[in-house]
């Protein structure tokens, strides 16, 4: 997984409206880049809806939220529409970005090992540097932790 202080690798992925999104489009802004396993699942729905809840405060902090999973553009569109998500959900169908950021890892579920996305979040500063990494996120209060840390980082803390 990429470490704090690392330059965030640029990428181009389609969002839920099949529009190309480049990370470099957000240079000069704070970015909350979060990786999640799968649309329409309980944990991922909670995480997305929680980020949507604090989106006005994130907007006030001049930051954007980008969610990334391997789901298709069409599935992202259904997920966003169903839950009223207004931030961008990016489709990394080939898992290239997930691999680059180090979140595509071996996981275990019910004794079976498989490769999958480890729920993780990165805060990227306006210069494109990763300033905070959250590996193996627990969704319940994660959105509040990210918002608090974003505010602290913006103040230079």
What is the residue-averaged pLDDT of the chain?
96
Residues 6+ apart with CB under 8 A from 131: 4, 5, 123, 124, 125, 153
In the set 31, 33, 44, 68, the catalytic residue is: 44
How confident is the model over 97-123, as pLDDT tens digits? 999 999 999 998 899 999 999 999 999
| Pair of tokens at residue 21 | 């999104």
| Pair of tokens at residue 72 | 């298709």
Mapped onto helix, strand or coil, the DSSP state of residue 20 is: strand
pLDDT above 80 for 4: yes
The full set of domains in the chain, from first to last, is 14-154 (3.40.30.10)
Distance CA 148, CA 57 (A): 10
44 part of the active site: yes
Closest CA to 66 of 45, 51, 82, 84: 51
- Amino acid 136: pLDDT: 87
pLDDT above 70 for 89: yes
Distance CA 78, CA 86 (A): 12
């Amino acid at each position: 997984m990429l470490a704090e202080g690392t330059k965030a690798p640029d990428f181009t992925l389609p969002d839920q409206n099949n529009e190309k999104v480049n990370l470099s489009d957000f240079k000069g802004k704070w970015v909350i880049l979060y990786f999640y396993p799968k649309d329409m699942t309980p944990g991922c729905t909670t995480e997305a809806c929680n980020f949507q809840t604090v989106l006005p405060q994130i907007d006030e902090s001049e930051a954007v939220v980008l969610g990334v999973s391997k789901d298709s553009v069409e599935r992202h569109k259904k997920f966003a529409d169903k839950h009223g998500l207004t931030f961008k959900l990016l489709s990394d169908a080939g898992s290239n970005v997930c691999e680059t950021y180090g979140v595509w890892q071996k996981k275990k579920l019910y004794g079976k090992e498989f490769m999958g996305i480890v729920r993780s979040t990165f805060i990227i500063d306006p210069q494109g540097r990763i300033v905070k990494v959250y590996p193996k996120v627990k969704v319940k209060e994660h959105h509040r932790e990210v918002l608090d840390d974003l505010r602290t980082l913006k103040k230079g803390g």
